[in-house]
Amino acid sequence: MPDRNLSERAEEILAGIWQRRESEEEHPAPADRAGEAPEEAVGELEEKGLVRETSGQLSLTDEGEKEAAAIVRRERLAERLLVDVLNVGKGVATETACKFEHLLRRGIDDEICTLLGHPKVCPHGSPIPPGECCRAGAQEASRVVSALADLLPGQEGVIAYIRGRRRETVQRMMALGAVPGTPIRLLQKSPSYVFQIEQSHVAVDREIARDIYVRLRGRSTVAPPPPTSWLPRPFWGKRHRRGRGRR
Amino acid sequence: MGALDFARGLLARARGCHCDTCPLAAPSKSRRLVLFGSPNVGKSVIFNQLTGVYAVVSNYPGTTVEVARGEARIGDVLLEIVDSPGAYSLAPLSEDERVARDLLADDPPDMVLHVIDAKNLRRALPLTFQLLEAGIPVAVNLNVIDEAERAGLSVDTDRLSADLGVPVVATAAVSGVGMDGLRALVAGEIPVPSDYRVDYPEWIESAIAEIAELLRGDYGLAPRAVALLLLQRDPGTWERVRRANAEAASDIERVVSDAEAQYSHPLAYPIALARRQAAEGAANGAVRGSSRAVKPGFGESVGRLAMHPVAGMLMLAAVLYVGLYLFVGKLGAGVMVDFLEHQVFARYVTPASTHIVERLLPWPTWSKLFVGEYGLITLGLRYAIAIVLPLVGAFFLTFAVLEDSGYLPRLALLVDRFFKRIGLSGRAVIPIVLGLGCDTMATLVTRVLETRRERVIATLLLALAIPCSAQLGVILGLLSRHPLGLAIWGVVILGVFFLSGALAARLLPGETPRFYLEIPPMRWPSLRNVATKTFARLRWYAAEVIPLFLVASIVIWIGELTRLFQLALTVLRPAVNALGLPDAAADAFLFGFFRRDYGAARIFDLARPSEVMSGVPLVVAMVTITLFVPCIAQFLVMIRERGWRTALAVAGLILPFAFGVGFLLNVILLSIGVQI
């Protein structure tokens, strides 16, 4: 599909129509973002054959349908990225995501989608239209980037970023050598998380382990068995198995 | 341990020998060298090697929490060598890091030796950069080079030296490898401050330049370093600037907030990224070979096991049983104390000294000072030498082995989750376990904790529920014959520990602390260090405890003459009786005010002939004296570290609490009719 270089207003109108239809399915009274659509932007959309006007209401053409889905997808992925990874509050996220979405070109959204593990819904619970990558990666369940807390013992990668707004958090990470770009390997996760950076081993609690994001090596989903698997499983270990996270 | 005097001793030694006051030496050159670096890289080993003064060396981060000073003469250069607590950066997160940083800022040394664990060069170099930014002449010491080589790494020191513009020397200080090179380095030419610069992003550089322009006054560190600390919002540096430079502070504030507005994270983040990148560049040039996974040896396997949730707990139980119950309780308190008490003192020292003193001083009032019930020899010396020192010695030995093996940090990660419930992080295990050696020193070690809330809770728990080595030895010695009694004591003390901790965590505002701790490799303890450390601590302890016990005898003697002693006993007796204890126990509590170990030794003495005290009263007495007030030295450290109000509040809380718990325990044990 060619990239359609739509103006920001035009993209907003498309997304608005999509959202209106979504909310009409739930409650009939629409919240209309494309309410006062400026002539110019509507003209642009009509010209490109993305919308048609019937009895004063704008609706999507087949092409428009695809375009709108892509826009909404980018917007909601951006929200997920901001909320999950960058730890931005939900309110701020929506606002930022709207602007952000315009900057995400095709292809990048698939990268983000893969990185986030093909999320199904946005932080507010609205569905994210699936993309190419979601269909292709249906079997490939693991994320490319994951919090250290969600890795399995033995998995390794490179630190992608540190989540955290507080000076102490950032400084603490730096003290531990947990700086983006550094190779890291998770050794164990119960009763505390222990990871290895260079030749040193560091123990941290779950809160800190959740602030360190790791870009995994390769895309393998099969983690090597934990090194101490021959030992009895801890009676409180269940809490920390994978899958409990936010999914 | 002997806490205070250990610190005092080191300081006094340093002061006594300081070049200013030393009339003898007229060396051609003298200089001050500070050993600086991350925790647990071996600064204290190097300090010991260079000065011959023993600073405690262990295998866990945070062994050194105070500054130690010593001196060395190398050729015609007299060096004052300063060992600093470990610090990850110049922007401190905990008190001990602050001590290290202030050491540089308050009185800039002639030279800093940055001690680095050679295995972790990339991690360590950012601190080298910070030292260079501070404008201090720096030399780099790649220590533990033997472990790096075993891990398949070799470092080209010449290349690193050329890249950074600082002298670099590799050592394996524990085995003395490379020490000659290091000596030559620190006694040689003072290196010219390097012009190596980390490239920060352009917008940070311009903020640094602006701030440096605005800064007036002397901060000990170069303006570039101060500017970077201000950008990172280091509270200590901001406070200094506000004090020294009030009018510029608001302009600087504006520059910093403008810079902050340009980045999503605190500025510590982009600054650290730039340093990391520079470190990567320097390390890539100098390090050959890639770190290969070392085949886990025996130590590593044990270390792994110690971190396992189930195996780790079993190992803890084994350590407690063998180290404490068997070694301290059975061997120390049983065999060694028996020998010294019954053989040496009861057979020879006491009768002989009584005989001699009574002949020389035929006046009972005077002879009582030496050989009476509370006499200098028959009580003071006997308690110190025959009871307390063997117990404490056995304990210190167990302890030294644990410290050197690297077990303590593993214990910390094992209990982190439980400690969170009492408002502490797993890191607090280190001061708490050290408290079993000496609560006074452990109170000092609470500096490694990050927040004031944690430090206050740990101080409280140390004063309340952690018996010191002498108490623990006495308790193990007496109760090892009554396992049920020992179990009751253990359950009550653990219960008090966790309940009062949980209560304190509820009452004190603040958030749950974060836990992070470096886990050093599990190492086979070096026999020499274990022996040196145990001996050094025992010597410090003896130097503290013998004079104090002797003074106590004199005080009691005067008290008896003036009848004040009897009066105090009369006041205490009802309280003691309320616990179901015999009158004779009253003086144990009076002694306990003075020193924990003294009170415990008294109970030991009373309970040995079991007709005076046994069974339920013995357990009640043990519980009460464990919880009882901190000793004077501990109280003084509490005041110094936490302030008057906290120290008084803690002590005021503990006294009625200890008696309350003792009273309740007595009532409960009697009403359910426990036979011990």
Q: pLDDT tens digits, residue range B156-194?
A: 999 999 999 999 999 999 999 999 999 999 998 888 888
Confidence of residue A228 (pLDDT cuts 50, 70, 90): very low
Q: Count other Cβ atoms within 10 Å, centred on residue A105.
A: 9
- pLDDT at B5 exceeding the cut of 50: no
Share of chain A above pLDDT 90, in %: 10
Q: What are the backbone angles phi and psi of residue A214, rounded to the nearest 5°?
A: -120, 135
- What is d(CA B300, CA B524) in angstroms, rounded to the nearest whole number? 10
The answer to whether the Cβ–Cβ distance between A199 and B425 falls below 8 Å is no
Q: Count other Cβ atoms within 10 Å, centred on residue B243.
A: 10
The answer to whether the Cβ–Cβ distance between B312 and A236 falls below 8 Å is no
Contact list in A for residue B416 (CB cut-off 8 A) is: 191-192, 203, 205
Q: Look at A137-141, A182-186, B94-98, B549-553 and tell me which has the smallest mean pLDDT.
A: A137-141
Mean pLDDT of B97-106: 92
Rounded to a whole number of angstroms, the distance from the CA of B190 to the nearest CA of chain A is: 29
The answer to whether the Cβ–Cβ distance between B91 and A171 falls below 8 Å is yes
pLDDT score, position B413? 93
The answer to whether the Cβ–Cβ distance between A192 and B409 falls below 8 Å is no
**Best interface-test mutation with B: which of A197, A201, A213 has the largest number of B CBs within 10 A?**
A201
Burial B376-386 (b: 16+ CB within 10 A, else e): bbbbbbbbbbb
- The shortest CB-CB distance from B272 to any of A179, A201, A232 is to A179
The answer to whether the Cβ–Cβ distance between A171 and B120 falls below 8 Å is no
- The shortest CB-CB distance from A234 to any of B304, B309, B413 is to B309
Highest CATH level, class, for B202-287: mainly alpha
- The shortest CB-CB distance from A180 to any of B122, B273, B450 is to B273
Share of chain B above pLDDT 70, in %: 94
- The shortest CB-CB distance from A202 to any of B121, B232, B516 is to B516
Share of chain B above pLDDT 90, in %: 46
Task: Tell me the β-bridge partners of A51.
Answer: A60
Task: Tell me the β-bridge partners of B177.
Answer: B172
Confidence of residue A247 (pLDDT cuts 50, 70, 90): very low
pLDDT score, position A129? 85
Q: How far is CA B352 from CA A113, B460, B550, in A?
A: 89, 45, 19
Q: Token pair of B376, please?
A: 């200098």
Contact list in B for residue A171 (CB cut-off 8 A) is: 89, 91, 93, 232, 268
pLDDT score, position B28? 60
- pLDDT at A33 exceeding the cut of 70: no
Fold of A145-236: SH3 type barrels. (2.30.30)
Rounded to a whole number of angstroms, the distance from the CA of A207 to the nearest CA of chain B is: 7
Contact list in B for residue A202 (CB cut-off 8 A) is: 516-519
- pLDDT at B402 exceeding the cut of 80: yes
Rounded to a whole number of angstroms, the distance from the CA of A54 to the nearest CA of chain B is: 45
- What is d(CA A84, CA A13) in angstroms, rounded to the nearest whole number? 27
pLDDT score, position B92? 92
Encode pLDDT of B30-40 as tens digits.
899 999 999 99
Fold of A1-140: Arc Repressor Mutant, subunit A (1.10.10)
- What is d(CA B225, CA B138) in angstroms, rounded to the nearest whole number? 14
Rounded to a whole number of angstroms, the distance from the CA of B548 to the nearest CA of chain A is: 42
**A237 → chain B, closest CA residue:** B309
- pLDDT at B654 exceeding the cut of 80: yes
Of residues B269 and B292, more confidently modeled? B269
A137 CB-near residues (< 8 Å, 6+ apart): A114, A118
Domain edges within chain B:
3-187, 202-287, 309-512+531-671
Q: Token pair of B74, please?
A: 């190398």
Q: Token pair of B501, please?
A: 């901790």
pLDDT score, position B502? 95
pLDDT score, position B414? 94
- pLDDT at A232 exceeding the cut of 60: no
The answer to whether the Cβ–Cβ distance between B308 and A236 falls below 8 Å is no
Burial of B537 (0-12, 13-18, 19+ CB in 10 A): buried
Mean pLDDT of the residues in chain B: 87
Q: What are the backbone angles phi and psi of residue B211, rounded to the nearest 5°?
A: -65, -45
**B273 → chain A, closest CA residue:** A179
Confidence of residue B143 (pLDDT cuts 50, 70, 90): very high
The answer to whether the Cβ–Cβ distance between B518 and A190 falls below 8 Å is no
Rounded to a whole number of angstroms, the distance from the CA of B248 to the nearest CA of chain A is: 23
Mean pLDDT of B646-666: 91
The answer to whether the Cβ–Cβ distance between B119 and A199 falls below 8 Å is yes
pLDDT score, position B612? 66
Highest CATH level, class, for B3-187: alpha beta
Rounded to a whole number of angstroms, the distance from the CA of A226 to the nearest CA of chain B is: 12
Mean pLDDT of A97-126: 73
Contact list in B for residue A167 (CB cut-off 8 A) is: 232-233, 266, 268
**Best interface-test mutation with A: which of B125, B514, B522 has the largest number of A CBs within 10 A?**
B514
Encode pLDDT of B178-237 as tens digits.
999 999 999 988 888 888 989 999 999 999 999 999 998 788 899 999 999 999 999 999
Confidence of residue A8 (pLDDT cuts 50, 70, 90): confident
Mean pLDDT of B278-286: 92
Strands (E) across B216-329 are located at 287-288
Confidence of residue A147 (pLDDT cuts 50, 70, 90): confident
pLDDT score, position A37? 59
Task: Tell me the β-bridge partners of A215.
Answer: A145, A158
Residue keyed to tokens 């200080």? B173
**B512 → chain A, closest CA residue:** A207
Encode pLDDT of B470-526 as tens digits.
888 888 888 877 889 889 999 999 999 999 999 999 999 888 899 999 999 888 898
Confidence of residue B530 (pLDDT cuts 50, 70, 90): very high
Confidence of residue B598 (pLDDT cuts 50, 70, 90): confident
Rounded to a whole number of angstroms, the distance from the CA of A52 to the nearest CA of chain B is: 42
Share of chain A above pLDDT 70, in %: 70
Strands (E) across chain A are located at 51-54, 57-60, 145-147, 156-162, 183-188, 193-197, 200-204, 212-216
Mean pLDDT of A20-38: 59
Considering only CB atoms, which residues of chain A are within 8 Å of chain B?
86, 162, 164-172, 174-177, 179-182, 188, 190-192, 194, 197-205, 207-208, 227-228, 231-232, 234-237
Encode pLDDT of B558-584 as tens digits.
988 899 888 988 988 988 888 888 888
Burial of B303 (0-12, 13-18, 19+ CB in 10 A): buried
- The shortest CB-CB distance from A170 to any of B268, B512, B518 is to B268
Rounded to a whole number of angstroms, the distance from the CA of B121 to the nearest CA of chain A is: 9
The answer to whether the Cβ–Cβ distance between B272 and A191 falls below 8 Å is no
Q: For the CA atoms of chain A, what is the radius of gyration?
A: 22
pLDDT score, position B505? 93
- What is d(CA B501, CA B419) in angstroms, rounded to the nearest whole number? 9
Per DSSP, the residues of A97-127 read HHHHHHH--TTHHHHHHHHTT--SB-TTSPB
The answer to whether the Cβ–Cβ distance between A174 and B89 falls below 8 Å is yes
- The shortest CB-CB distance from A198 to any of B119, B273, B515 is to B119
- What is d(CA B235, CA B233) in angstroms, rounded to the nearest whole number? 6
pLDDT score, position B364? 84
Q: Token pair of B434, please?
A: 């050290």
Q: Token pair of A2, please?
A: 């060619």
Q: Look at A57-61, B138-142, B465-469, B491-495 and tell me which has the smallest mean pLDDT.
A: A57-61
Domain edges within chain A:
1-140, 145-236
Of residues B509 and B460, more confidently modeled? B460
- pLDDT at A107 exceeding the cut of 80: no
Encode pLDDT of B346-365 as tens digits.
899 989 998 998 888 888 88
**A187 → chain B, closest CA residue:** B304
Rounded to a whole number of angstroms, the distance from the CA of B521 to the nearest CA of chain A is: 8
- The shortest CB-CB distance from B519 to any of A182, A203, A207 is to A203
Mean pLDDT of B538-546: 87
Do strands B29-36 and B111-117 pair parallel, antiparallel, or not at all (unpaired)? parallel
Are B194 and B140 contacting, i.e. CB atoms less than 8 angstroms apart? Answer: no
Mean pLDDT of A28-49: 66
Q: How far is CA B313 from CA B265, B310, B411, B437, B630, in A?
A: 40, 5, 9, 21, 30
Peptide bond before B609: cis, by omega within 30 degrees of 0? no
Of residues A91 and B337, more confidently modeled? B337
- pLDDT at B428 exceeding the cut of 90: yes
Query: CB contacts < 8 Å between A and B, how many?
Result: 147
**B409 → chain A, closest CA residue:** A203
- What is d(CA B504, CA B421) in angstroms, rounded to the nearest whole number? 10
Q: Token pair of B479, please?
A: 């109760």
Confidence of residue A29 (pLDDT cuts 50, 70, 90): very low
The answer to whether the Cβ–Cβ distance between B519 and A188 falls below 8 Å is no
Q: Distance from CA of residue B227 to its chain's centroid?
A: 33
Encode pLDDT of B38-84 as tens digits.
999 999 999 999 998 888 888 888 888 889 999 999 988 999 999 99
**Best interface-test mutation with B: which of A86, A100, A205, A230 has the largest number of B CBs within 10 A?**
A205
Confidence of residue B292 (pLDDT cuts 50, 70, 90): low
Burial B492-522 (b: 16+ CB within 10 A, else e): bbeebbbebbeebbeeeeeebbbbbbbbbbb
Instruction: Map residue B102 onto helix, strand or coil.
Output: helix
Mean pLDDT of the residues in chain A: 74
**A180 → chain B, closest CA residue:** B273
Rounded to a whole number of angstroms, the distance from the CA of A81 to the nearest CA of chain B is: 14
pTM of the model: 0.80
Encode pLDDT of A207-226 as tens digits.
899 889 888 875 444 444 44
